């Protein structure tokens, strides 16, 4: 990229520059210059910092052009000039009726996609009237027990016109089955149904810990669903391979990148092992990353992710369809970066994080609400979060050109560094026996816990300043933003409703469908088709999961994963 | 030299967010306490039984799911039933101010909210447990 002559001259200039800089270097405005991931950053990057600086072919092979292999600069040829990212705000609370109202509010405010948050009982495969659901119903998402709830959730929303993302993993098959049944009832053919299921069980073992079954049957649920969707719901993104939660649990940017992509490659390998053709399912895989506070580090992470995925899918897994090479991803700003102190400051944090997602070429974006460390977001906070994206899209001008930070010595050097460090992790994971072995052995969990603890120490030792938390504190601050509370009546109503559904359905049909599911679970048929039939008969999510728990057992975290650091 | 403080840490309910409790576990350990982390999805009886069996000075609970107004009272009740009210119960998580005040009124010794330095929790435990042992 740069002539040898220039690089030599620059070397000499830098040596001289360094002598002068040394005089001022003694004074430092802060003790360390490091990223949010504790990575030390050089004071200056020049053409000499860039890998392949003296090699013309490097740019063509590793950076290239948007929409072309290896996609470092973006997955589409024209990016946001053709289509802005989808502004997809995650929402869900209380009863299906309440969330349905929130969905309609989001669509009316200009949101272009829906994203469903489910409550913990739904995520953990319990009906609302299960003893373990006590106090949790409708709290951090919407309660969905059966098809009847999904019908209310999407009441008045045309499933052929909206794309819906559902954040659910262990019980994802049931949620998708309910959703497809709603489409059936609306008369929308499955070919027109669009959306994404999170359905990433590996990161549950690693980070978010909402697991039900052991890894093997869990992966079977996923590969069965992938197979069904490839044939019948071709526009559905079957897995959103998620780094978000890995990051939230305390991982560094590189750990997020490496562990997420390692999970993704594990799904690819599992599907190939199950006999599926890589180019049949890989185009429907998508990713989900965090946007944390370190601006350039995040941008480099997204760029590195695209390059790593493209190279692996093409060379390691032999994918021939270009769509299989793409790392398309959703981004959400970092919940863990928000502070309970001076919560209005979070608006600014979210704006900077969202900007890094956009400059990193995200396909869709959720911006967090300022009040999320206090409770579920209020309507006003949700609106400000969405407006933040609209201001970036329409006022900042950053989408006018594609990948505007390409060619920055710093960003390119950081992108290369991220890629190399992720590759080093892939080697280590392989050496330890692969992703499943690393989960069983607690490797990921310990690595993440160690980073989380280091981060906390850095704050307490004031190496790292968090505004309002360990500096610039407002003494005696009183929080005066409205906090949304979930009425206790929600649980009472939801319990009554699931019992009513059970009382009014055709019991024989449910029994037959559940018996069939048990048979398939024991044998080798497609579990998703059996789950779809149970759903049509108004079998509940809890009934299906209980049955599978009986057949497959429950996963318990190994002690090695519970070690704090 | 006073006895080492023994603390049982647990996550009740269905919530799996364990970043905070693991950080707390590491900080307490570094501060010289004996920490027993019982892991995820512990029911109130499981937590209190373990606390009695391990003869701990304090129980620390982390809840980020919003179920705190159900789970803390259930643990307190269980402590009462098992004659374990001498154990200090404290907690942390996404807990609104109003609920925090209510919980501290009904018998939770202290609720720590996001952004609290681990040092503050350590000092609180040392101070309160020393007072109780007087």
Rounded mean pLDDT, B110-117: 93
At A90, the pLDDT band (50, 70, 90 cuts) reads: confident
Confidence of residue B61 (pLDDT cuts 50, 70, 90): very high
Residues from chain A that touch B94, judged by Cβ atoms under 8 A, are 373-375
How many domains does chain B divide into?
Answer: 1
Please, which pLDDT band fits residue A412 given cuts at 50, 70 and 90?
very high
Residues of B whose CB is below 8 A from A339: 114-115
* Beta carbons of A135 and B67 less than 8 Å apart: yes
Tell me, yes or no, whether B16 lies in a domain: yes
Q: What is chain A's mean pLDDT, rounded? A: 94
Here the ipTM equals 0.93
Q: What is the dihedral of CA B108, B113, B117, B118, to 10 degrees?
A: 40
Q: Do A136 and B119 touch (CB under 8 A)?
A: no
CA–CA min distance A43, chain B (Å): 30
A506 lies in some domain = no
Residue A418 falls within a domain, yes or no?
A: yes
Which pLDDT band holds residue A89 (cuts at 50, 70, 90)?
A: confident
pLDDT attached to residue A474: 93
Give the up-direction half-sphere exposure of residue A270: CA atoms within 13 A in the CB hemisphere: 25
Q: How far is B117 from chain A (nearest CA, A)?
A: 6
- State yes or no: pLDDT of B41 exceeds 50: yes
A34, β-bridge pairs? A40
pLDDT of A481 over the 80 cut: no
Of B25, B65, B113, the CB nearest to A120: B65
DSSP A82: T
Find the range with the poorest average confidence among A34-43, A47-56, A314-323, A401-410.
A47-56
| Tens of pLDDT, residues A180-226 | 999 999 999 999 999 999 999 999 999 999 999 999 999 999 999 99
Contact B14 A133 (CB under 8 A): yes
pLDDT at B2 (0 to 100) = 60
Contact yes or no for A444/A206 (Cβ under 8 A): yes
Where is pLDDT greater, at A111 or A279?
A279
When scoring A135, A205, A343 by the number of chain B Cβ atoms within 10 A, the one with the most, hence best to mutate, is A135
Whether A532 is covered by a domain: the verdict is no
Per cent of chain A over pLDDT 90 is 84
Which domain does A65 fall in, by range?
A: 61-460
Q: Closest Cα to residue A169, out of A254, A239, A245?
A: A239
CATH value at residue A345: 3.20.20.240
Average pLDDT, stretch A92-108? 89
pLDDT higher than 80, residue A1? no
Q: Which of B8, B11, B14 to probe by mutation at the A interface, max A CB count within 10 Å?
A: B14
> Residue B63 is part of a domain; what is its CATH number?
3.40.50.280
**What are the backbone dihedrals phi and psi of residue B92, each rounded to the nearest 5 degrees, phi first?**
-160, 170
Split at pLDDT 50, 70, 90, the class of A527 is very high
A124, A466, A483 ranked by CB distance to B14: nearest: A124
Q: Inter-chain contact A562–B37, Cβ cutoff 8 Å?
A: yes
Q: What is the model's pLDDT at position A564? A: 61
Question: What range does the domain containing B64 cover?
Answer: 6-133
pLDDT of residue A87: 87
Q: Are A318 and A83 in contact (CB under 8 A)?
A: no
Q: Are A244 and A288 in contact (CB under 8 A)?
A: yes
Tally the domains of chain A.
1
A536 within a domain of the structure (yes/no): no
- Kindly state whether residue A251 falls inside one of the protein's structural domains: yes
Residues A73, A21 contacting (CB under 8 angstroms): no
Pairwise CA distance, residues A195 & A114, whole Å: 9
* Rounded distance between C-alpha atoms, residue A416 and residue A54, angstroms: 15
Q: What is the mean pLDDT of residues B119-125?
A: 96
Q: Is 90 exceeded by the pLDDT of residue A48?
A: yes
Tens of pLDDT, residues A387-406: 999 999 999 999 999 999 99
Does residue A521 surpass a pLDDT of 50?
yes
Please indicate whether, in this complex, the C-beta atoms of A136 and B26 are within 8 angstroms of each other: no
The answer to whether the CB atoms of A134 and B70 lie below 8 A apart is yes
Given a cut of 50, is residue A93 above it in pLDDT? yes
Is B1 inside any structural domain?
A: no
Domain contains B14: yes
* Listed range (A222-226, A310-314, A378-382, A510-514) with the worst mean pLDDT: A378-382
- What local confidence, expressed as pLDDT, does residue A565 receive? 54
Closest residue by Cα to residue A429 from A443, A408, A448: A443
What residues of chain B lie within 8 A of the CB of A485, using their CB? 96
Would A131 be classed as within a structural domain?
A: yes
- Closest CA relative to residue A406, chosen from A54, A83, A70: A70
State the pLDDT at residue A373. Answer: 85
Does A503 map to a domain? no
Distances from the Cα of A286 to the Cαs of A125, A261, A280, in angstroms? 24, 11, 14
pLDDT of residue B1: 46
- The predicted pLDDT at position B33 comes to 97
Q: Is residue A425, in this structure, part of any structural domain at all?
A: yes
pLDDT at A107 over 80: yes
């Amino acid at each position: 990229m740069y002539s040898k002559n220039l690089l030599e001259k620059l070397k000499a200039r830098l040596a001289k520059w360094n002598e002068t800089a040394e005089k001022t270097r003694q004074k430092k405005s802060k003790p360390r210059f490091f990223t949010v991931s504790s990575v030390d950053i050089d004071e200056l990057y020049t053409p000499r910092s860039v890998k392949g600086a003296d090699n013309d072919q490097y740019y063509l092979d590793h950076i290239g052009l948007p929409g072309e292999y290896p996609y470092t600069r973006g997955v589409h040829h024209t990016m946001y000039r053709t289509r802005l990212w989808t502004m997809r705000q995650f929402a869900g609370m209380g009863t299906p009726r309440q969330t349905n109202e929130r969905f309609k509010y989001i669509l009316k405010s200009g949101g272009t996609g829906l994203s469903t948050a489910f409550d913990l009982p739904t995520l953990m495969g319990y009906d609302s009237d299960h003893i373990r659901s006590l106090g949790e119903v409708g709290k951090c998402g919407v309660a969905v027990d059966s098809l009847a709830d999904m019908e209310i959730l999407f009441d008045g929303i045309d499933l052929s016109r909206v794309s819906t993302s559902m954040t659910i993993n262990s019980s994802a098959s049931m949620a998708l089955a309910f959703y497809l049944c709603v489409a059936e009832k609306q008369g929308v053919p499955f070919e027109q149904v669009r959306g994404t299921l999170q359905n990433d069980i590996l990161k549950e073992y690693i980070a978010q810990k909402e697991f039900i079954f052991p890894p093997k049957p869990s992966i079977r649920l996923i590969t069965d669903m992938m197979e069904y969707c490839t044939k019948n719901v071709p526009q559905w993104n079957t897995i959103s391979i998620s780094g978000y939660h890995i990051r939230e649990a305390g991982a560094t940017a590189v750990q997020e990148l490496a562990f997420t992509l390692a999970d993704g490659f594990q799904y690819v390998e599992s599907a190939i092992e199950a006999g599926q053709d890589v180019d049949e399912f890989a185009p429907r895989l998508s990713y989900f990353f965090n946007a944390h506070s370190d601006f350039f580090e995040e941008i480099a992470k997204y760029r590195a992710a695209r390059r790593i995925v493209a190279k692996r899918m093409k060379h390691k897994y032999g994918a021939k369809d270009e769509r299989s090479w793409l790392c398309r991803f959703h981004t959400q700003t970092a919940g863990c970066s928000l502070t309970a102190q001076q919560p209005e400051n979070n608006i600014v944090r979210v704006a900077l994080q969202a900007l890094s997602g956009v400059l990193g070429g995200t396909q869709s974006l959720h911006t967090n609400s300022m009040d999320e460390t206090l409770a579920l977001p209020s309507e006003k906070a949700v609106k400000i979060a969405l407006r933040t994206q609209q201001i970036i899209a329409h006022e900042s001008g950053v989408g006018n050109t594609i990948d505007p930070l390409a060619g920055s010595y710093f960003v390119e050097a950081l992108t290369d560094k991220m890629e190399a460090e992720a590759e080093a992790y892939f080697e280590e994971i392989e050496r330890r026996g692969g992703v499943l072995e690393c989960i069983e052995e607690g490797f990921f969990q310990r690595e993440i816990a160690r980073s989380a603890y280091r981060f906390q120490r850095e704050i307490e030792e004031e190496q790292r300043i968090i505004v309002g938390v360990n500096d610039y504190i407002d003494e005696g601050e009183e929080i005066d933003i409205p906090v949304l509370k979930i009425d206790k009546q929600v649980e009472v109503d939801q319990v009554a409703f699931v019992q009513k559904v059970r009382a009014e359905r055709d019991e024989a049909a449910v029994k037959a469908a559940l018996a069939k599911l048990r048979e398939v679970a024991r044998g080798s048929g497609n579990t998703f088709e059996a789950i779809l039939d149970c759903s049509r008969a108004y079998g509940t999510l809890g009934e299906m999961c209980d049955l599978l728990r009986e057949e497959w057992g429950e996963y318990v975290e190994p002690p090695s994963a519970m070690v704090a650091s | 030299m006073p006895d080492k403080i023994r603390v049982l840490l647990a996550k009740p309910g269905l919530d799996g967010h364990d970043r905070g409790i693991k950080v707390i576990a590491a900080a307490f350990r570094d501060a010289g306490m004996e920490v027993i982390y019982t892991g995820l999805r512990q029911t109130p009886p499981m937590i209190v039984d373990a606390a009695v069996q391990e003869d701990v000075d304090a129980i620390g609970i982390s809840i980020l799911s919003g179920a705190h107004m159900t789970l803390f009272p259930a643990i307190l009740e269980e402590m009462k039933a098992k004659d374990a009210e001498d154990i200090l119960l404290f907690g942390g998580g996404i807990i609104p101010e109003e609920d925090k005040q209510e919980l501290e009124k009904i018998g939770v010794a202290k609720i720590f909210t996001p952004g609290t330095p681990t040092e503050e929790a350590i000092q609180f435990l040392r101070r309160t447990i020393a007072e109780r042992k007087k």
